[in-house]
A and B are shown apart, each in its own frame.
Chain A
Amino acid sequence: MGNMENSALIDKLEYYMGHSEDEKSMAVMFTEEEINILRTIKEFEQLRGIMESEYAERGNGGTDNAAYIEEVFQRRERERDISFRLKGQFACQADLLLEEGMAENWLQVLTWYQLLKGKGLIVNRFWEFPVLETMLQAFLEELKLFYTNGQAISVLAMHSLEEITGTYFDIVFLLRRMEYGVEPIDGMVSYLSEKGLSMTVVRTVLEAARIFDKRKVKDLLEGWFGKDG
Protein backbone atom coordinates (compact mmCIF):
# COMPACT_ATOMS: atom_id res chain seq x y z
CA MET A 1 0.00 0.00 0.00
CA GLY A 2 1.56 3.27 -1.08
CA ASN A 3 1.20 6.70 0.41
CA MET A 4 -2.53 7.21 0.30
CA GLU A 5 -4.18 10.46 -0.53
CA ASN A 6 -7.50 11.63 -1.74
CA SER A 7 -6.61 14.75 -3.64
CA ALA A 8 -8.12 13.66 -6.97
CA LEU A 9 -11.67 13.55 -5.65
CA ILE A 10 -11.18 16.69 -3.57
CA ASP A 11 -9.82 18.56 -6.63
CA LYS A 12 -12.76 17.43 -8.73
CA LEU A 13 -15.25 18.49 -6.06
CA GLU A 14 -13.56 21.85 -5.67
CA TYR A 15 -13.75 22.43 -9.41
CA TYR A 16 -17.40 21.41 -9.40
CA MET A 17 -18.23 23.83 -6.58
CA GLY A 18 -16.97 26.70 -8.70
CA HIS A 19 -18.43 25.47 -12.01
CA SER A 20 -21.58 23.60 -11.17
CA GLU A 21 -23.26 24.68 -14.42
CA ASP A 22 -20.57 23.00 -16.50
CA GLU A 23 -22.48 19.80 -17.29
CA LYS A 24 -20.02 18.74 -19.97
CA SER A 25 -17.02 18.67 -17.64
CA MET A 26 -19.10 17.08 -14.96
CA ALA A 27 -19.97 14.14 -17.20
CA VAL A 28 -16.26 13.58 -17.88
CA MET A 29 -15.01 13.99 -14.32
CA PHE A 30 -17.60 12.07 -12.35
CA THR A 31 -19.31 8.71 -12.45
CA GLU A 32 -23.07 8.47 -12.85
CA GLU A 33 -23.49 7.77 -9.12
CA GLU A 34 -21.38 10.79 -8.22
CA ILE A 35 -23.31 13.02 -10.62
CA ASN A 36 -26.57 11.90 -9.01
CA ILE A 37 -25.31 12.97 -5.60
CA LEU A 38 -24.04 16.32 -6.84
CA ARG A 39 -27.27 17.09 -8.70
CA THR A 40 -29.34 16.28 -5.62
CA ILE A 41 -27.09 18.43 -3.42
CA LYS A 42 -27.60 21.30 -5.85
CA GLU A 43 -31.36 20.76 -5.86
CA PHE A 44 -31.34 20.58 -2.06
CA GLU A 45 -29.47 23.85 -1.76
CA GLN A 46 -31.87 25.50 -4.20
CA LEU A 47 -34.82 24.29 -2.13
CA ARG A 48 -33.22 25.71 1.00
CA GLY A 49 -32.60 28.98 -0.82
CA ILE A 50 -36.28 29.17 -1.80
CA MET A 51 -37.36 28.43 1.77
CA GLU A 52 -35.01 31.09 3.09
CA SER A 53 -36.40 33.76 0.79
CA GLU A 54 -40.00 32.76 1.55
CA TYR A 55 -39.18 32.98 5.23
CA ALA A 56 -37.59 36.40 4.80
CA GLU A 57 -40.65 37.66 2.87
CA ARG A 58 -43.10 36.35 5.44
CA GLY A 59 -41.05 37.58 8.36
CA ASN A 60 -40.10 35.42 11.28
CA GLY A 61 -43.39 35.71 13.13
CA GLY A 62 -41.87 37.94 15.79
CA THR A 63 -42.27 36.43 19.19
CA ASP A 64 -45.01 34.03 18.12
CA ASN A 65 -43.60 30.73 19.29
CA ALA A 66 -46.34 28.67 17.59
CA ALA A 67 -45.56 30.24 14.21
CA TYR A 68 -41.88 29.53 14.62
CA ILE A 69 -42.52 25.90 15.54
CA GLU A 70 -44.80 25.49 12.54
CA GLU A 71 -42.12 26.97 10.29
CA VAL A 72 -39.49 24.54 11.54
CA PHE A 73 -41.71 21.53 10.93
CA GLN A 74 -42.88 22.72 7.54
CA ARG A 75 -39.30 23.06 6.38
CA ARG A 76 -38.53 19.56 7.54
CA GLU A 77 -41.54 18.13 5.74
CA ARG A 78 -40.53 19.85 2.51
CA GLU A 79 -37.06 18.37 2.82
CA ARG A 80 -38.30 14.84 3.43
CA ASP A 81 -38.34 13.36 -0.09
CA ILE A 82 -35.09 14.92 -1.18
CA SER A 83 -33.40 13.83 2.06
CA PHE A 84 -34.34 10.21 1.47
CA ARG A 85 -33.22 10.44 -2.16
CA LEU A 86 -29.84 11.88 -1.19
CA LYS A 87 -29.39 9.29 1.52
CA GLY A 88 -30.07 6.52 -1.00
CA GLN A 89 -27.61 7.98 -3.50
CA PHE A 90 -24.93 8.37 -0.86
CA ALA A 91 -25.43 4.77 0.30
CA CYS A 92 -25.19 3.53 -3.27
CA GLN A 93 -21.91 5.38 -3.85
CA ALA A 94 -20.49 4.36 -0.47
CA ASP A 95 -21.27 0.69 -1.10
CA LEU A 96 -19.55 0.81 -4.49
CA LEU A 97 -16.44 2.22 -2.84
CA LEU A 98 -16.45 0.01 0.24
CA GLU A 99 -16.96 -3.15 -1.78
CA GLU A 100 -13.34 -3.11 -2.91
CA GLY A 101 -11.88 -3.06 0.61
CA MET A 102 -9.30 -0.39 -0.20
CA ALA A 103 -8.10 2.40 2.08
CA GLU A 104 -8.17 4.89 -0.81
CA ASN A 105 -11.88 4.20 -1.22
CA TRP A 106 -12.54 4.72 2.48
CA LEU A 107 -10.93 8.13 2.09
CA GLN A 108 -13.37 8.84 -0.71
CA VAL A 109 -16.30 7.85 1.49
CA LEU A 110 -14.91 10.21 4.11
CA THR A 111 -14.76 13.00 1.53
CA TRP A 112 -18.37 12.49 0.45
CA TYR A 113 -19.45 12.34 4.07
CA GLN A 114 -17.61 15.57 4.86
CA LEU A 115 -19.18 17.25 1.85
CA LEU A 116 -22.67 16.48 3.17
CA LYS A 117 -21.73 17.42 6.71
CA GLY A 118 -20.08 20.66 5.63
CA LYS A 119 -23.25 21.65 3.79
CA GLY A 120 -25.45 20.66 6.71
CA LEU A 121 -27.35 18.11 4.62
CA ILE A 122 -29.01 14.96 6.00
CA VAL A 123 -26.19 13.78 8.29
CA ASN A 124 -28.19 14.94 11.30
CA ARG A 125 -31.40 13.37 9.98
CA PHE A 126 -30.53 9.68 9.75
CA TRP A 127 -28.91 7.68 12.53
CA GLU A 128 -26.71 5.75 10.10
CA PHE A 129 -24.54 8.85 9.69
CA PRO A 130 -23.26 9.24 13.26
CA VAL A 131 -22.44 5.52 13.10
CA LEU A 132 -20.55 6.00 9.86
CA GLU A 133 -18.70 8.98 11.31
CA THR A 134 -17.50 6.86 14.22
CA MET A 135 -16.29 4.10 11.92
CA LEU A 136 -14.56 6.63 9.66
CA GLN A 137 -12.82 7.92 12.78
CA ALA A 138 -11.72 4.35 13.56
CA PHE A 139 -10.43 4.06 10.00
CA LEU A 140 -8.35 7.23 10.40
CA GLU A 141 -6.93 5.97 13.70
CA GLU A 142 -5.98 2.70 12.04
CA LEU A 143 -4.51 4.55 9.08
CA LYS A 144 -2.20 6.48 11.45
CA LEU A 145 -1.05 3.19 12.98
CA PHE A 146 -0.51 1.77 9.53
CA TYR A 147 1.90 4.59 8.74
CA THR A 148 3.51 4.39 12.18
CA ASN A 149 4.09 0.67 12.54
CA GLY A 150 2.53 -1.05 9.56
CA GLN A 151 -0.46 -2.33 11.52
CA ALA A 152 -3.22 -3.68 9.29
CA ILE A 153 -6.33 -1.58 8.73
CA SER A 154 -8.99 -3.92 10.01
CA VAL A 155 -12.05 -1.87 9.06
CA LEU A 156 -11.33 -2.62 5.41
CA ALA A 157 -12.95 -5.99 6.03
CA MET A 158 -16.32 -4.24 6.09
CA HIS A 159 -17.70 -3.97 2.58
CA SER A 160 -20.95 -2.03 2.83
CA LEU A 161 -22.69 0.61 4.89
CA GLU A 162 -25.01 -2.05 6.24
CA GLU A 163 -22.04 -4.12 7.40
CA ILE A 164 -20.46 -1.06 9.02
CA THR A 165 -23.68 -0.25 10.88
CA GLY A 166 -24.14 -3.86 11.97
CA THR A 167 -20.58 -4.12 13.21
CA TYR A 168 -20.87 -0.86 15.10
CA PHE A 169 -23.91 -2.07 17.01
CA ASP A 170 -22.43 -5.52 17.61
CA ILE A 171 -19.48 -3.83 19.32
CA VAL A 172 -21.68 -1.44 21.31
CA PHE A 173 -23.83 -4.35 22.49
CA LEU A 174 -20.77 -6.34 23.58
CA LEU A 175 -19.33 -3.34 25.42
CA ARG A 176 -22.61 -2.71 27.22
CA ARG A 177 -22.93 -6.35 28.23
CA MET A 178 -19.50 -6.01 29.83
CA GLU A 179 -20.53 -2.79 31.55
CA TYR A 180 -23.58 -4.31 33.22
CA GLY A 181 -22.18 -7.80 33.70
CA VAL A 182 -24.74 -9.32 31.35
CA GLU A 183 -21.98 -11.30 29.65
CA PRO A 184 -18.28 -11.70 30.42
CA ILE A 185 -15.57 -10.31 28.15
CA ASP A 186 -15.29 -13.65 26.34
CA GLY A 187 -18.05 -12.56 23.97
CA MET A 188 -15.97 -9.60 22.84
CA VAL A 189 -12.83 -11.72 22.50
CA SER A 190 -14.57 -14.24 20.25
CA TYR A 191 -16.21 -11.54 18.17
CA LEU A 192 -12.99 -9.65 17.49
CA SER A 193 -11.17 -12.82 16.64
CA GLU A 194 -13.93 -13.96 14.27
CA LYS A 195 -14.18 -10.58 12.53
CA GLY A 196 -10.46 -9.75 12.61
CA LEU A 197 -11.17 -6.30 14.05
CA SER A 198 -8.56 -4.36 16.02
CA MET A 199 -8.78 -2.87 19.51
CA THR A 200 -8.39 0.53 17.86
CA VAL A 201 -11.86 0.08 16.40
CA VAL A 202 -13.26 -1.04 19.75
CA ARG A 203 -11.73 1.92 21.59
CA THR A 204 -13.10 4.38 19.04
CA VAL A 205 -16.58 2.90 19.31
CA LEU A 206 -16.37 2.93 23.11
CA GLU A 207 -15.64 6.66 23.08
CA ALA A 208 -18.56 7.42 20.76
CA ALA A 209 -21.20 5.04 22.09
CA ARG A 210 -23.72 5.49 24.85
CA ILE A 211 -21.72 3.57 27.40
CA PHE A 212 -22.14 5.13 30.80
CA ASP A 213 -19.12 3.78 32.72
CA LYS A 214 -16.47 3.98 30.03
CA ARG A 215 -13.70 3.70 32.62
CA LYS A 216 -14.96 0.35 33.85
CA VAL A 217 -15.24 -1.07 30.34
CA LYS A 218 -11.84 0.30 29.37
CA ASP A 219 -10.26 -1.35 32.42
CA LEU A 220 -11.89 -4.66 31.56
CA LEU A 221 -10.61 -4.44 27.99
CA GLU A 222 -7.10 -3.50 29.10
CA GLY A 223 -7.12 -6.31 31.64
CA TRP A 224 -7.61 -8.77 28.82
CA PHE A 225 -5.93 -7.22 25.80
CA GLY A 226 -3.31 -5.04 27.50
CA LYS A 227 -2.97 -1.28 27.20
CA ASP A 228 -1.80 -1.35 23.60
CA GLY A 229 -3.69 -4.50 22.63
Chain B
Amino acid sequence: MDENKICFIICANNDRFFNECIRYIRWLEVPEGMEVELLEIRDARSMAAGYNEGMTGSDAKYKVYMHQDVFIVNRFFIHDIMSIFESDAGIGMIGMIGVKKLPESGIMWLGERVPPVHELTENWEEYRYDREKDGLWEVDGIDGVVMATQYDIPWREDVFDGWDFYDLSQSFEMHRRGLRVVVPVHKRFWHQHDDKPILSTWHYNKYRKKFLEEYAEMGE
Protein backbone atom coordinates (compact mmCIF):
# COMPACT_ATOMS: atom_id res chain seq x y z
CA MET B 1 0.00 0.00 0.00
CA ASP B 2 1.28 3.43 -0.88
CA GLU B 3 0.86 5.61 2.20
CA ASN B 4 1.52 8.74 0.21
CA LYS B 5 -1.29 8.24 -2.22
CA ILE B 6 -5.02 9.02 -2.18
CA CYS B 7 -7.34 7.61 -4.81
CA PHE B 8 -10.75 9.00 -5.72
CA ILE B 9 -13.04 6.24 -7.01
CA ILE B 10 -16.20 7.22 -8.89
CA CYS B 11 -18.80 5.12 -10.68
CA ALA B 12 -19.81 7.27 -13.62
CA ASN B 13 -22.50 7.21 -16.29
CA ASN B 14 -22.98 10.93 -16.91
CA ASP B 15 -20.14 12.96 -18.43
CA ARG B 16 -21.58 16.34 -17.47
CA PHE B 17 -21.62 15.48 -13.76
CA PHE B 18 -18.43 13.45 -13.81
CA ASN B 19 -16.42 16.22 -15.50
CA GLU B 20 -17.67 18.73 -12.96
CA CYS B 21 -16.92 16.35 -10.12
CA ILE B 22 -13.28 15.90 -11.16
CA ARG B 23 -12.89 19.64 -11.71
CA TYR B 24 -13.27 20.02 -7.93
CA ILE B 25 -10.91 17.11 -7.20
CA ARG B 26 -8.24 18.77 -9.33
CA TRP B 27 -8.87 22.05 -7.49
CA LEU B 28 -8.06 20.53 -4.07
CA GLU B 29 -4.90 21.47 -2.21
CA VAL B 30 -2.57 18.47 -2.22
CA PRO B 31 -0.26 17.99 0.78
CA GLU B 32 3.40 17.92 -0.13
CA GLY B 33 4.60 14.47 -1.07
CA MET B 34 1.09 13.14 -1.69
CA GLU B 35 -0.03 11.73 -4.99
CA VAL B 36 -3.63 11.98 -6.14
CA GLU B 37 -5.10 9.24 -8.32
CA LEU B 38 -8.49 9.18 -10.00
CA LEU B 39 -10.30 5.99 -10.97
CA GLU B 40 -13.38 6.25 -13.13
CA ILE B 41 -15.50 3.13 -13.11
CA ARG B 42 -17.82 2.74 -16.09
CA ASP B 43 -20.59 0.17 -16.56
CA ALA B 44 -20.53 -0.99 -12.96
CA ARG B 45 -22.98 -3.82 -12.24
CA SER B 46 -23.70 -2.29 -8.86
CA MET B 47 -22.17 0.33 -6.62
CA ALA B 48 -20.48 -2.32 -4.47
CA ALA B 49 -19.12 -4.14 -7.54
CA GLY B 50 -17.81 -0.87 -8.99
CA TYR B 51 -16.16 0.07 -5.74
CA ASN B 52 -14.53 -3.35 -5.42
CA GLU B 53 -13.12 -2.88 -8.91
CA GLY B 54 -11.76 0.50 -7.87
CA MET B 55 -10.44 -0.77 -4.56
CA THR B 56 -8.46 -3.61 -6.10
CA GLY B 57 -7.27 -1.39 -8.93
CA SER B 58 -5.38 1.05 -6.72
CA ASP B 59 -2.52 0.66 -4.28
CA ALA B 60 -3.35 3.95 -2.52
CA LYS B 61 -3.67 3.60 1.23
CA TYR B 62 -6.35 6.31 1.31
CA LYS B 63 -9.38 5.91 -0.89
CA VAL B 64 -12.37 8.17 -1.39
CA TYR B 65 -15.47 6.57 -2.86
CA MET B 66 -17.90 9.18 -4.06
CA HIS B 67 -20.91 9.90 -6.26
CA GLN B 68 -20.39 11.52 -9.64
CA ASP B 69 -22.80 14.35 -8.77
CA VAL B 70 -20.91 15.41 -5.67
CA PHE B 71 -18.49 18.30 -5.60
CA ILE B 72 -15.92 18.61 -2.84
CA VAL B 73 -15.91 22.27 -1.92
CA ASN B 74 -13.55 22.06 1.05
CA ARG B 75 -10.29 22.84 -0.67
CA PHE B 76 -8.37 21.30 2.22
CA PHE B 77 -10.31 18.05 2.09
CA ILE B 78 -7.23 15.84 1.61
CA HIS B 79 -5.36 17.52 4.50
CA ASP B 80 -8.39 17.18 6.76
CA ILE B 81 -9.11 13.54 5.88
CA MET B 82 -5.49 12.58 6.46
CA SER B 83 -5.29 14.44 9.75
CA ILE B 84 -8.25 12.38 10.98
CA PHE B 85 -6.91 9.03 9.79
CA GLU B 86 -3.43 9.76 11.12
CA SER B 87 -4.86 10.66 14.52
CA ASP B 88 -6.22 7.15 15.12
CA ALA B 89 -5.48 3.89 13.33
CA GLY B 90 -8.81 2.64 14.70
CA ILE B 91 -10.76 4.90 12.37
CA GLY B 92 -11.83 2.86 9.36
CA MET B 93 -14.04 5.23 7.48
CA ILE B 94 -15.00 8.91 7.33
CA GLY B 95 -18.23 10.26 5.88
CA MET B 96 -19.73 13.67 5.28
CA ILE B 97 -23.22 12.75 6.49
CA GLY B 98 -23.99 10.12 9.07
CA VAL B 99 -26.55 8.72 11.44
CA LYS B 100 -25.63 8.46 15.11
CA LYS B 101 -27.91 5.57 15.88
CA LEU B 102 -29.47 3.70 13.00
CA PRO B 103 -33.20 3.16 13.63
CA GLU B 104 -34.49 -0.42 13.76
CA SER B 105 -36.14 0.10 10.39
CA GLY B 106 -32.70 0.58 8.79
CA ILE B 107 -33.89 3.88 7.31
CA MET B 108 -31.06 6.26 7.86
CA TRP B 109 -32.94 9.51 7.44
CA LEU B 110 -35.35 8.59 10.23
CA GLY B 111 -32.47 8.68 12.72
CA GLU B 112 -30.47 11.57 14.15
CA ARG B 113 -28.50 12.94 11.28
CA VAL B 114 -25.10 14.58 11.55
CA PRO B 115 -24.26 17.22 10.76
CA PRO B 116 -27.56 18.82 11.62
CA VAL B 117 -28.63 21.16 8.84
CA HIS B 118 -26.77 24.28 9.75
CA GLU B 119 -24.18 26.38 8.09
CA LEU B 120 -21.88 29.19 9.00
CA THR B 121 -23.30 32.29 7.45
CA GLU B 122 -20.56 34.75 8.37
CA ASN B 123 -16.95 34.36 7.28
CA TRP B 124 -17.58 30.89 5.89
CA GLU B 125 -14.77 31.34 3.43
CA GLU B 126 -12.22 31.74 6.23
CA TYR B 127 -13.38 28.72 8.21
CA ARG B 128 -11.09 25.69 8.31
CA TYR B 129 -11.72 22.43 10.05
CA ASP B 130 -9.52 21.77 13.08
CA ARG B 131 -9.60 18.12 14.15
CA GLU B 132 -8.54 18.76 17.75
CA LYS B 133 -10.86 21.69 18.29
CA ASP B 134 -13.84 20.60 16.21
CA GLY B 135 -13.69 16.84 16.74
CA LEU B 136 -15.65 13.94 15.31
CA TRP B 137 -19.07 12.36 15.56
CA GLU B 138 -19.16 8.61 16.14
CA VAL B 139 -21.81 7.16 13.87
CA ASP B 140 -23.47 3.84 13.09
CA GLY B 141 -23.45 4.57 9.39
CA ILE B 142 -22.61 7.12 6.74
CA ASP B 143 -24.29 8.20 3.54
CA GLY B 144 -22.70 7.12 0.27
CA VAL B 145 -22.14 10.60 -1.14
CA VAL B 146 -18.52 10.60 0.04
CA MET B 147 -16.87 7.71 1.90
CA ALA B 148 -13.15 7.88 2.73
CA THR B 149 -11.25 4.82 3.96
CA GLN B 150 -7.79 3.94 5.15
CA TYR B 151 -8.21 0.15 4.96
CA ASP B 152 -9.40 -1.95 2.06
CA ILE B 153 -12.45 -3.83 3.26
CA PRO B 154 -14.32 -5.66 0.47
CA TRP B 155 -17.68 -4.18 -0.48
CA ARG B 156 -20.51 -6.70 -0.15
CA GLU B 157 -21.45 -6.99 -3.80
CA ASP B 158 -22.62 -10.53 -3.05
CA VAL B 159 -25.56 -9.11 -1.09
CA PHE B 160 -25.98 -5.53 -2.31
CA ASP B 161 -26.12 -5.93 -6.07
CA GLY B 162 -27.96 -2.66 -6.71
CA TRP B 163 -27.55 0.99 -5.81
CA ASP B 164 -28.97 1.09 -2.29
CA PHE B 165 -27.59 0.20 1.15
CA TYR B 166 -24.03 -0.42 -0.04
CA ASP B 167 -23.07 2.55 2.16
CA LEU B 168 -24.65 1.35 5.40
CA SER B 169 -23.39 -2.15 4.65
CA GLN B 170 -19.81 -0.88 4.35
CA SER B 171 -20.24 1.06 7.61
CA PHE B 172 -21.33 -2.13 9.36
CA GLU B 173 -18.50 -4.13 7.78
CA MET B 174 -16.14 -1.61 9.37
CA HIS B 175 -17.86 -2.02 12.74
CA ARG B 176 -17.67 -5.82 12.42
CA ARG B 177 -13.91 -5.45 12.25
CA GLY B 178 -13.84 -3.18 15.26
CA LEU B 179 -13.13 -0.04 13.25
CA ARG B 180 -14.64 3.35 13.95
CA VAL B 181 -16.85 5.17 11.48
CA VAL B 182 -16.87 8.93 11.94
CA VAL B 183 -18.08 12.22 10.55
CA PRO B 184 -15.99 15.35 11.14
CA VAL B 185 -17.83 18.04 13.12
CA HIS B 186 -17.69 20.54 10.31
CA LYS B 187 -19.27 23.96 10.51
CA ARG B 188 -19.64 24.35 6.79
CA PHE B 189 -20.33 21.62 4.30
CA TRP B 190 -17.36 19.93 2.68
CA HIS B 191 -19.37 18.89 -0.32
CA GLN B 192 -22.30 19.92 -2.47
CA HIS B 193 -24.67 17.39 -3.95
CA ASP B 194 -26.84 18.17 -6.95
CA ASP B 195 -29.38 15.42 -6.51
CA LYS B 196 -32.36 17.80 -6.18
CA PRO B 197 -34.82 16.91 -3.42
CA ILE B 198 -35.83 13.58 -4.91
CA LEU B 199 -35.44 10.12 -3.45
CA SER B 200 -35.52 7.56 -6.23
CA THR B 201 -36.07 4.65 -3.93
CA TRP B 202 -37.66 2.17 -6.30
CA HIS B 203 -35.64 -0.79 -5.02
CA TYR B 204 -34.87 0.60 -1.60
CA ASN B 205 -37.12 -1.73 0.36
CA LYS B 206 -35.63 -4.87 -1.16
CA TYR B 207 -32.14 -3.88 -0.05
CA ARG B 208 -33.39 -2.57 3.29
CA LYS B 209 -34.66 -6.06 4.08
CA LYS B 210 -31.41 -7.64 2.93
CA PHE B 211 -29.51 -5.22 5.13
CA LEU B 212 -31.62 -5.97 8.21
CA GLU B 213 -31.14 -9.69 7.64
CA GLU B 214 -27.40 -9.49 7.02
CA TYR B 215 -26.64 -7.35 10.06
CA ALA B 216 -29.37 -8.60 12.39
CA GLU B 217 -26.87 -9.50 15.10
CA MET B 218 -25.54 -5.95 15.23
CA GLY B 219 -28.89 -4.44 16.06
CA GLU B 220 -29.25 -6.52 19.20
Q: A: which residues have CB within 8 A of B?
A: 65-66, 69-70, 73-74, 76-77, 80, 124-127, 129-131, 166, 169-170, 172-173, 176-177, 180, 182, 210, 212-213
Contact = CB atoms under 8 A, between A and B. Distances in A.
B189 to A, nearest CB: 7
Contacts of B193: 210
Q: Which 9 A/B pairs are nearest by Cβ-Cβ distance?
A: A73-B205, A127-B196, A127-B198, A130-B196, A173-B20, A80-B202, A180-B73, A182-B27, A69-B105
Which of B27, B75, B202 is packed against the most chain A CB atoms within 10 Å?
Answer: B202
Interface size class of B (residues with CB under 8 A): 20 to 34
Contact of B198 (A69, A80, A126, A212): A126
A182 B201 CA distance: 33
Contacts, number: 58
Contacts of B75: 180
B197 interface: yes
Contacts of A127: 195-196, 198, 200
A66 B105 contact: yes
Nearest to A180: B73
A131 B196 contact: yes
Given A74-B205, A127-B195, A212 B200 contact: no
21 contacts: A65-B105, A69-B105, A69-B107, A73-B205, A76-B201, A76-B202, A76-B205, A80-B202, A124-B198, A125-B200, A127-B195, A127-B200, A130-B197, A166-B16, A172-B194, A173-B20, A176-B71, A176-B192, A180-B73, A210-B192, A213-B124
Contacts of B73: 176, 180
A80 B188 CA distance: 36
Contacts of A210: 192-194
Contacts of A182: 23-24, 27
A28 B218 CA distance: 62
Main secondary structure of the interface of A (DSSP, over half): helix
B205 A130 contact: no
A155 B17 CA distance: 22
B126 to A, nearest CB: 13
Contacts of A129: 198
Interface string B26-44: 0100000000000000000
B16 A169 contact: yes
B119 interface: yes
B204 A73 contact: yes
Nearest to B24: A182
Interface in B157-207: 188-189, 192-198, 200-202, 204-205
A212 B189 contact: yes
Contacts of A66: 104-105
A126 B198 CA distance: 6
A210 B192 CA distance: 8
B202 to A, nearest CB: 5
A124 B71 CA distance: 24
Which of A124, A169, A170, A180 is packed against the most chain B CB atoms within 10 Å?
Answer: A180
B105 to A, nearest CB: 5
A173 B69 CA distance: 11
